[in-house]
Amino acid sequence: MITYYLLVSILPLTLHPFWTMFVGEFTMIKYLGGAALIAAVFHLAGGRRIPGFLETPQSRAFLALLGVASISYLSHGLPFSWEHSPLISFISFFVFYVVTIALVDSRNALRWSLLVAVGSVAWATLYVVREFQKFGGRPGWVVGDPNYYTMSAILVIPVAYFFFSSSGLPRWQRLFCLGSLVLILVGVALAASRGGFIGLSVAIAYLTARSGHRKRAVLLFVAIAGPILFLAPDSPLRRLFAPNVHDAQSVEIREILWAAGWLMIQQYPLTGIGLGNFKYVVPLFQPDADRPYANIAHNTYIEMTAETGLPGLLAFVATLALTLYSLETVRRGAGRAHDRFLVAVATGLQAGLLGYAANAVFISAQYQKLMWLMVFLSMTLPGLLRASLARTQAETWANAPGDRIRVATS
């Protein structure tokens, strides 16, 4: 499990100089992923449980997406070098999917995976703060980009909140989550992502609606997030409601790219232009632009549809929607079993993924590693819920009076 936790801990560090360093033909993170896969194989060989790789609807939707992406790349993809191939990214996600389902087979492993994920974004925040101290402006080098850093933050903030609020966790873990939560919100304020602010608002709204202590949830986030968002040097609220020239230009570029993407979809609705090709062919779909922009779409849904056609969009949206549906099923089942831990996990993952879905309108985030971690972790919850229900039932039978047992078995 150590290799897996280490892999999770570096997911937000997109451009970390060590983990992106090539040694031979592979980067260090690829070697770490290979080590985690080997650990998963040994774990499966030494265990008695056969993982339910196809048990959940979101797992089947993910595999369908992998199939569509593979066909799109092999039939229409440009000749990328293998280390920059978008298909390699999807294959890496498939390996991550196998490793996660194989290794996260207990409540303890799930808890530690989520704690490491929260800690990973808190650690990434230290890079964000340091970059702001040295260079000013909107920081985002080691974490790749301030918008993608904010996306990572959105995915873990609800989990950190529910873990902090859970009385069933050790005190030090609750304090760790509170400290991480405060630090991450500082990073979000410095990153000043407008789309991220919208996504975070969606996540917090859902989190508050599902919280058992709604007033406390609202007061906590107002007390922590309010001063940060209003007093930050480059507040996302200011960029959203009073944009400067650079902010307005960013909006204009996005509108041009979205319009070009829509033209691609109209011309290639079923097959798309090929996985990973958007950035390289988008100038051809800007006939009226004085200076065509060669960039990603800055919209996950438009880019997925333009590159892989409607089948790719349907598979991607189905993966997200079925994950949310599966988490809701687990949340309700865990509530009936009075399993507060699984209720907190399912609700936190739901809030984070809803925030992701909203933020994905403004950035191309289909390759966001932490999002796929949350999706893959959701696939482990039904099995853990069944174990919890079986344990609750066994305890009920053990504590039941003898005459009730006889009646129930007659």
Are 228 and 189 a contacting pair, CB within 8 Å? yes
Report the alpha-carbon distance of residue 103 to residue 109 in Å, rounded: 8
Q: How far is CA 403 from CA 88, 175, 333, 407, in A?
A: 62, 46, 28, 6
Report the alpha-carbon distance of residue 204 to residue 351 in Å, rounded: 7
Break the chain into its structural domains and give their ranges.
Answer: 2-398
Task: Tell me the backbone φ, ψ of residue 230, rounded to 5 degrees.
Answer: -85, -25
Q: How far is CA 336 from CA 210, 343, 384, in A?
A: 15, 10, 14
Cα dihedral sign, 52-58-62-63:
positive
For residue 395, the model assigns a pLDDT of 60
Which pair of structure tokens corresponds to residue 285? Answer: 């779909």
CB atoms within 10 A of CB 225: 21
**pTM for this model (two decimals):** 0.88
Write down how long the chain is: 410
Report the alpha-carbon distance of residue 164 to residue 86 in Å, rounded: 37
CB atoms within 10 A of CB 82: 8
Which pair of structure tokens corresponds to residue 190? Answer: 């410095």
Report the alpha-carbon distance of residue 200 to residue 195 in Å, rounded: 9
Q: How far is CA 301 from CA 9, 278, 315, in A?
A: 28, 12, 11
Report the alpha-carbon distance of residue 37 to residue 373 in Å, rounded: 15
One digit per residue, pLDDT tens: the chain, 410 residues? 888 998 899 899 888 887 777 777 777 888 888 888 888 888 777 766 677 788 899 999 999 999 999 999 988 877 776 667 888 889 989 999 999 998 988 889 999 999 999 999 999 999 888 888 887 777 777 888 888 999 999 999 999 988 888 777 888 988 999 999 989 988 888 887 888 888 988 888 888 888 766 666 667 667 666 666 666 667 777 777 777 777 777 888 888 888 889 999 999 999 989 998 888 888 888 877 667 778 888 899 999 999 999 999 999 999 999 999 999 999 998 888 888 889 889 999 999 999 999 999 999 999 999 999 999 999 999 988 887 777 666 666 666 555 444 434 43
For residue 152, the model assigns a pLDDT of 93
Task: Tell me the backbone φ, ψ of residue 291, rounded to 5 degrees.
Answer: -135, 100
- Counting Cβ atoms within 10 Å, is residue 394 exposed (0-12), middle (13-18) or buried (19+)? exposed
Which pair of structure tokens corresponds to residue 139? Answer: 């920081």
Which pair of structure tokens corresponds to residue 106? Answer: 């207990």
Report the alpha-carbon distance of residue 250 to residue 193 in Å, rounded: 12
For residue 122, the model assigns a pLDDT of 94
For residue 399, the model assigns a pLDDT of 61
| 3-class DSSP string for 302-364 | HHHHHHHHHHHHHHHHHHHHHHHHHHHHHHHHHHHCCCHHHHHHHHHHHHHHHHHHHHCCCCC
- Counting Cβ atoms within 10 Å, is residue 271 exposed (0-12), middle (13-18) or buried (19+)? middle
